[in-house]
Amino acid sequence: MLKITYKILKKIIFSFAFLYAYNVIAYPLGVIIPLNFITVGTLTIFGIPSFFSFVLIKLLLF
C-alpha cells in the first residue's frame, strides 16, 4: 500500500515539475499551459502524450 502511494505521489510531483519547467521555458513564446488540478491530473494519468496534446490544443485553438 505504501509503495502505491509513493508511486502516485512521485508521478504527481513529476507532472507538476514538468509543467512548471515547460512554462518557464515557453513563457517568451506565449505558449503556456496553466498549472491546475486538471492539467496535472491528466498528465499524471496519461503521461507525456497528454502533454503534447495540451501543447497542440494550445497552438491550434488559442
pLDDT in the model for residue 23: 95
- Check residue 34 and report its DSSP letter: P
pLDDT in the model for residue 30: 87
Low-confidence ranges of the chain (pLDDT < 50): none
pLDDT in the model for residue 1: 87
User: CA-to-CA distance for 57 and 12, rounded, in angstroms?
Assistant: 22
Quote the number of domains for the chain.
1
- Check residue 28 and report its DSSP letter: G
User: CA-to-CA distance for 35 and 57, rounded, in angstroms?
Assistant: 15
Report the predicted TM-score, pTM, of the whole model to 2 decimal places. Answer: 0.85
**Residue 50 sits in which domain range?**
2-61
pLDDT in the model for residue 62: 83
